[in-house]
Amino acid sequence: MKLLLKETIDKLSQESSYQSVCHNTLARHPMPSIKNLEKIVDLLRELLFPGYFGNSVIDKESINYYIGVNTERLFELLSKEIFAGLCFACNEKEIKEGKGDSLRHNADTIAVEFIKQLPEIREILVTDVEAAYLGDPAAQNRGEVIFCYPAIRAISSYRIAHCLHEMSIPLIPRIISEMAHSETGIDIHPRATIGKFFTIDHGTGVVIGATTIIGDNVQLYQGVTLGAKSFPLDVDGNPIKGIDRHPIIEDNVIVYAQATILGRVTVGANSVIGGNVWITNDVAPDSKIIQLRPRDLLLTGGGGI
């Protein structure tokens, strides 16, 4: 039986069959490890919300030890993944010239710089927890919000990934945000800019595109898309990258379930966007947008539509 597989094994091993999806750094430097990145996110959750994740019994006396050990572990894992991310962005020439080695030191420095920003990241996450708590009458207390709400997981990962993205780490922030996307159904691009007191209720299906700008105190519901319209092509027919093509949502806006807002439009401060609407133009501040009332029909039979 196994003999029959030999031909397939050889086909699958032929360089021509995989080279078009093969990355430069393959075979020269380690690729990012999704397993390690999962450990990194777990460590960050433990560090940012001590007592909720990981070790279940922590007190004032022991917290310093735990944070010390976890910070060290984080440094080691993160430095390795940042290095892998930096290598991933090199071209073949740079790698041959040994640039990879010089990047190893950079990775250590960047990891330290990132870790130094954790107290600030915790500060803003505390405002997000507050917003989620105040925004949901079903929430009993802040602890429940941290434990259960997918929004807190998604927004934590976003704030971490955004911070790494601001430090120009390639790939790693995107993997972190997709891990949160898979866990929560909330897809926030690390390049997006989001103010404080941000919350998302339920969350499944939310999409926040790369050039989105969100002010303070904004609340989204499940299924909301802050996306792009079709994008201009260059003379070769390739999409022109790097253009601002997602919405600006100003302070104090609420967007209800399944609303779709596309393109570089601005939803003015204090507006309310109703569920299931589809918006591709600017919305003035203090607006209230809702879907047209659906046709009401008598049921005519069959049990279907």
Stretch that binds a second copy, among 92-100, 155-163, 218-226 (CB under 8 A): 218-226
> Smallest distance from the beta carbon of 97 to a second copy, in angstroms?
18
* 181 HSE (CA, 13 A, CB side): 17
> Smallest distance from the beta carbon of 158 to a second copy, in angstroms?
14
Stretch that binds a second copy, among 92-100, 157-165, 171-179 (CB under 8 A): 171-179
- Among positions 9-68, residues that touch a second copy (CB under 8 A) are 9-13, 15, 17-18, 20-23, 26-28, 30-34, 47, 49-53, 56-68
Q: Which residue in 146, 194, 200, 214 binds a second copy (CB under 8 A)?
A: 146
- Among positions 228-267, residues that touch a second copy (CB under 8 A) are 228-231, 233, 238-243, 245, 254, 256-258, 260, 262
Strand order in the sheet with 266-267: 193-194, 213-214, 248-249, 266-267
Q: Which residue in 92, 96, 102, 148 binds a second copy (CB under 8 A)?
A: 148
Q: In this structure, are residues 200 and 181 in contact, taking their beta carbons and an 8 Å threshold?
A: no
CA–CA distance, 221 with 273 (Å, rounded to integer): 10
Q: In this structure, are residues 246 and 224 in contact, taking their beta carbons and an 8 Å threshold?
A: no
> Smallest distance from the beta carbon of 181 to a second copy, in angstroms?
7
Q: Are strands 248-249 and 260-262 parallel, antiparallel or unpaired?
A: unpaired
Give the total of residues touching a second copy (CB under 8 A). 153
Cβ-based nearer residue to a second copy, 99 or 118: 118
CA–CA distance, 192 with 211 (Å, rounded to integer): 5
Q: Which residue in 39, 104, 122, 196 binds a second copy (CB under 8 A)?
A: 122
Cβ-based nearer residue to a second copy, 98 or 302: 302
Q: Which residue in 205, 251, 264, 266 binds a second copy (CB under 8 A)?
A: 205
> Smallest distance from the beta carbon of 160 to a second copy, in angstroms?
14
CA–CA distance, 152 with 223 (Å, rounded to integer): 17
> Smallest distance from the beta carbon of 77 to a second copy, in angstroms?
13
Q: Which residue in 104, 195, 213, 287 binds a second copy (CB under 8 A)?
A: 287
- Work out whether 134 is an interface residue with a second copy (CB under 8 A): yes
Coil, helix or strand at residue 198: coil
CA–CA distance, 186 with 179 (Å, rounded to integer): 10
- Work out whether 291 is an interface residue with a second copy (CB under 8 A): yes
Stretch that binds a second copy, among 92-100, 157-165, 219-227 (CB under 8 A): 219-227
**Residues sharing a CB contact under 8 Å with residue 41, sequence separation 6 or more, in sequence order:** 157, 160, 176, 179, 180
> Smallest distance from the beta carbon of 271 to a second copy, in angstroms?
7
- Work out whether 96 is an interface residue with a second copy (CB under 8 A): no
> Smallest distance from the beta carbon of 123 to a second copy, in angstroms?
7
CA–CA distance, 101 with 98 (Å, rounded to integer): 6
Q: Which residue has the tokens 């989620």?
A: 132
- Work out whether 202 is an interface residue with a second copy (CB under 8 A): yes
Q: Give the Cβ contact number of residue 82 at 10 Å.
A: 26
Q: In this structure, are residues 226 and 280 in contact, taking their beta carbons and an 8 Å threshold?
A: no
CA–CA distance, 158 with 59 (Å, rounded to integer): 28
CA–CA distance, 176 with 157 (Å, rounded to integer): 7
